Amino acid sequence: MTNNLELLVENNPFLTKKIERKVASKDARILFLYPNERGMSTIPPSIAGLSQILKNEGHTTGLFDTTFYKFDDEITVEDSDKIKANSLENRPVLDRDDDDLHFKKTTNSAVEDFRKSLVDFKPDLIAVSCTETTFLRAIRMIDATRDLGIKNIFGGVFPTFAPDLTMTYPNVDMVCVGEGENAMVDLANSIGNQEKQFDITNIWFRMEDNTIHKNSISRPVNIDEIPEITDIELFGEERFYRPMGGKIRRLLPVETHRGCPYTCSFCNSPGQNRLYGDGDFLKGMSFFRKKRMDLVKNEIENHMKKYNVEYIYFWADTFLAWSDQEFDQFIKMYSNIKLPFWCQTRIETVDEEKFRRMKDVGLDRVTFGLEHGNEKFRAEVVKREYTNEDAIKKIKIVEKLGITFSINNIIGFPDETRELAFDTIELNRQFNSDNTSCSVLVPFHGTELHEYAVKKGYLDPNIICSVSNSGASILNMPQWHKDDIMRLRDVFAMYIKFPKKRWPEIERAETDLELRENLRQEFIKTFWSNSQAKIEDDIAEAAKGLF
């Protein structure tokens, strides 16, 4: 009689391939392209992890990171930190150009430098890691160097959820749908063995006749089996620095969770759960996974010892998506580290005792996704079900403990009105966050709201959500014009912090740019100036090793 393990192997090509995986006869050379142009984002753990896995298999990796390049064309994504600074979402670092302070961007041609990297590195494969916001930049880079004849593979959130759309671009050779840890090793080994292997799970191949060979998706990887010490240094030391709460931090990310158990309609994580069958494919192996605490500890200690990291960002959609036992393990582990750290979590997960314990071991800042202030709209459209009363109660706990926190909000949802957006403003006025972000909704492929916006006729299904044009809405809704949405975004924080008697003045500032700038300077002086002198001293010290 066939046992369960034999059935699992028989019905799972991923497991069969893992058992029979060939060792490459020679190393493959993989150059990662990271088409980042959104300012001060942290090092992505995905590329650092994939690079380490490939190196462990005997392959050679390199990186071309566009973070340091200035772009000025019709697809340019405006620096997210500049948007946040202009709309008073983040404390200003210094009254000067952030780019020059954090890292010096170059006006060199990114395409020409990329071409030089390809000629010098001589890769067998270009591995592009992109989101929907950076996909078009990657396409420009690939199109401009196509004459070199180097094959490429596109991976990341956007290719995963829009593989057919991705493959409509003729110079895309392969797409990785889902996670790439195992697929990339199989592909690199195939290249090293000079094989033309087209049955690698998670990868779609463009064939010579331009047809697309689509392979099935394998189960999620076991994140406890991938290297906890990743190839962070691939990015270079300058990428270790990031502004945080008005200071420059020498910061590195540490992944504790992959995926999220919640179902927000604007987020890709629920789409990952649907893509992987939410655990139906193999019991206990849903897309949402938590890393073993000893592995988290090893990674942090490596960052401290090897890179002199002074601040940790825990890479998790919902940091407190742990059982009580797992939380106790974290506190015990981190009590011997006590580096300041930043995390993000759901409002519903706030517990006074847990936050007190996190503060004791190093919690410096926490971010909550509030997203919307109207209970009915939040439940039906945003798919977040909690009361405003409970949200206020939970956040007041964090205030009482003296923990610095920020609040994320979104406006411009499908069918939202200006009046509904002011419910979000009113709710934010009930507590005193250090800073309050206001993003204009981007209906990314793979999200429930993308499908809804297309169905309502607000969005062309083939539009790439590149978030250009200063973060303006890409939805065409009859009840709220996209320009008005952006104007409210730019003064959102003013409506929250200034007294209501100033609201008529703030409303005028939505269209009066001179008045808006005057109010912006008043806001900074009134709400953020007390610690500005200390901030500048801290920045000067932190920036010494930057250049």
pLDDT in tens, 80-119: 556 666 777 666 654 344 444 455 678 889 999 999 999 9
Most distant CA pair in the chain, distance: 79
DSSP letter for each residue of 304-355: HHHH---EEEEE-SSTT-S-HHHHHHHHHHHTTT---EEEEE-GGG--HHHH
Question: Is residue 184 within 8 Å of 152, Cβ to Cβ?
Answer: no
Mean pLDDT computed over 1-7: 30
Amino acid at 120: D
Question: Is residue 137 within 8 Å of 35, Cβ to Cβ?
Answer: yes
pLDDT of residue 262: 87
Question: Is residue 321 within 8 Å of 343, Cβ to Cβ?
Answer: no
- Interatomic CA distance for residues 475 and 457, integer angstroms: 9
- Interatomic CA distance for residues 334 and 396, integer angstroms: 25
What token pair was written down for 425? 């403003």
- Which residues sit opposite 206 in a β-bridge? 212
> How does pLDDT run across 302-344, given as a tens digit for each residue?
999 999 999 999 999 999 999 999 999 999 999 999 999 999 9
Q: Is the pLDDT of residue 535 over 80?
A: no
pLDDT of residue 248: 82
Instruction: State the pLDDT confidence band at 533, using cuts at 50, 70 and 90.
Output: very low
Q: Is the pLDDT of residue 4 over 50?
A: no
pLDDT of residue 83: 65
Instruction: State the pLDDT confidence band at 423, using cuts at 50, 70 and 90.
Output: very high
pLDDT of residue 351: 96
> How does pLDDT run across 233-290, given as a tens digit for each residue?
999 888 888 877 777 888 899 999 998 888 899 988 887 877 776 444 444 457 888 9
Mean pLDDT computed over 57-77: 86
- Interatomic CA distance for residues 527 and 445, integer angstroms: 38
pLDDT of residue 15: 37
Alpha helices in 34-123 (DSSP H): 45-56, 80-86, 98-102, 110-121
Q: Is the pLDDT of residue 150 over 90?
A: yes
pLDDT of residue 79: 57
- Which residues sit opposite 204 in a β-bridge? 175, 214
- Interatomic CA distance for residues 36 and 115, integer angstroms: 17
Mean pLDDT computed over 455-459: 96
Lowest mean pLDDT among 57-61, 207-211, 270-274, 329-333: 270-274
Mean pLDDT computed over 464-492: 85
Residue 477: which of 491, 450, 462, 456 has the closest Cα? 456
pLDDT of residue 530: 56
> How does pLDDT run across 482-523, given as a tens digit for each residue?
999 999 999 999 999 999 999 999 999 999 999 999 999 999
Q: Given the structure tokens 């992890």, which residue do they identify?
A: 49
- Interatomic CA distance for residues 328 and 56, integer angstroms: 33
pLDDT of residue 85: 66
Phi, psi of 518 (to 5 degrees): -60, -45
Instruction: State the pLDDT confidence band at 13, using cuts at 50, 70 and 90.
Output: very low
Helix, strand, coil percentages (3-state) for the chain, rounded to 5, are: 45, 15, 40
Q: Which residues are within 8 A (CB) of 86 and not within 5 positions of it... i.e. 6 or more apart?
A: 490, 520
Percent of the residues in the chain that have a pLDDT greater than 70, as a whole number = 84
Phi, psi of 446 (to 5 degrees): 95, -5
CA 354 to chain centre: 26
HSE-CB for 471 with a 13 A CA cutoff: 23
- Interatomic CA distance for residues 182 and 186, integer angstroms: 6
Predicted TM-score (pTM) of this structure = 0.87
Question: Is residue 238 within 8 Å of 546, Cβ to Cβ?
Answer: yes
Mean pLDDT computed over 347-354: 96
To the nearest 10 degrees (0 to 180), the angle between helices 4-11 and 13-20 is: 90
HSE-CB for 380 with a 13 A CA cutoff: 7
